[in-house]
Amino acid sequence: MPMDSNAVISEIRKNFMLESIKNGKRLDGRPLDEYREIKITENFIPKSAGSAMVELGNTKVVAGLKIEQGEPFADTPDKGVILLNIELLPMAFPTFESGPPSEQAIEYSRVVDRGIRESKMIDTSKLVIESGKNVWMIFVDIDVLNYDGNIIDACTLAAVTALKNAVIPGSKLGEKDFKLPVNATPVAVTMWKLGDELICDASLEEEQVSTGRITVTMSEDNNIHAMQKGEIGEFSLEEIQKAIKTSSNIGNKLREKYFR
């Protein structure tokens, strides 16, 4: 969660926010588990192998794929490689800096990556050109252009959309181009604790007031594939169980709406 001393929320507004949430309603009028307007622009970058721009309210991210040939990892000679990287661009927020990825960017990348990897969305064994020597490498680069909260969910939506559209350039090998083989549709749902409540799709100012973040990524098999408690703060086991149920419900809704 980015810190910006100029943008710190006043105590009055913070209390007002918590009071409102206690009564089941957020400052922008949303119920606790409702997402902001979601806008997905598929194939936003025509030259990439697959891409999407995702807007969650003012949060704006772009995912783009490049697919190249390369050597597999030594311990998985019969699997293609997926490399996912989130850049929190310095344009996205006043305190984000240029340079190598921050701990925050790395954590976000790894959580998004785990959801996609562990749900077995992509069958990487179908990305082998020559065992142990040459495989398709999928670079999933995700840029955060404007930061207004809930980056993990936005980036997962963008990456999953881009992967679903992706085309492997088989023609470079004298074969046919083919669609990336997709087996599952993971959806990450992140919740924040504000007072005693859990809310979904926090805006930046809600993130700044929250005391704990929990992400649960599930796929249509209704299994949990990734979880991550983030930020300072603590959860009871009951809260975690509630978060899992919420993730299951919302994941089903989003999958229905955006990935049919």
Q: Where does this chain touch another protein (CB under 8 A) — which range of 19-27, 63-71, 163-171, 194-202?
A: 63-71
x/- track of binding to another protein for residues 222-241 (CB under 8 A):
xxxxxxxxxxxxxxxx--xx
In 3D, which of 21, 124, 114 has the Cα closest to residue 78? 124
Interface pick for another protein out of 42, 87, 123, 220 (rule CB under 8 A): 87
Among 36, 54, 56, 64, binds another protein (CB under 8 A): 64
Which residues from 240-259 bind another protein, rule CB under 8 A?
Answer: 240-241, 244-245, 248
Helix (H) or strand (E) holding 238: helix 237-258
Q: Closer to another protein at the Cβ: 12 or 232? A: 232
Give the whole-angstrom CA distance, residue 152 versus residue 250.
15
Whichever of 26 and 60 has its CB closer to another protein, that residue is 60
Name the residue nearer to another protein (CB basis): 15 or 95.
95
Q: Please write down the HEC assignment for all residues of 3-25.
A: CCHHHCCCHHHHHHHHHHHHCCE
141 is a contact residue toward another protein (CB under 8 A) = yes
Q: Does 106 bind another protein (CB under 8 A)?
A: yes
Count of residues making up the chain? 260
Residues 151-190 close enough to bind another protein by CB under 8 A: none
Burial of 252 (0-12, 13-18, 19+ CB in 10 A): middle
x/- track of binding to another protein for residues 27-56 (CB under 8 A): -----------------xxxxxx-x-----
Stretch that binds another protein, among 21-29, 175-183, 217-225, 250-258 (CB under 8 A): 217-225
In degrees rounded to 5, what are phi and psi of residue 143?
-105, 130
Q: Please, which residues have CB within 8 angstroms of residue 66's CB and are 6 or more apart in sequence?
A: 48, 49, 138, 139, 141
Amino acid at 228: Q
Q: Which residues contact 60 (CB under 8 A, 6 or more apart)?
A: 53, 54, 144, 145, 146
CA 12, 14, 16, 19: dihedral to nearest 10 degrees? -140
Using CB under 8 A as the binding rule, whether residue 127 contacts another protein is answered as no
Nearer to another protein, 214 or 254 (CB): 214
User: Contacting another protein (CB under 8 A), which of 62, 112, 151, 189?
Assistant: 62
Q: Note the residues at the interface with another protein (CB under 8 A).
A: 44-49, 51, 58, 60, 62, 64-66, 68, 85, 87, 89-94, 98-101, 103-104, 106-107, 109-110, 114, 117-119, 139, 141, 143, 145-148, 214, 221-237, 240-241, 244-245, 248
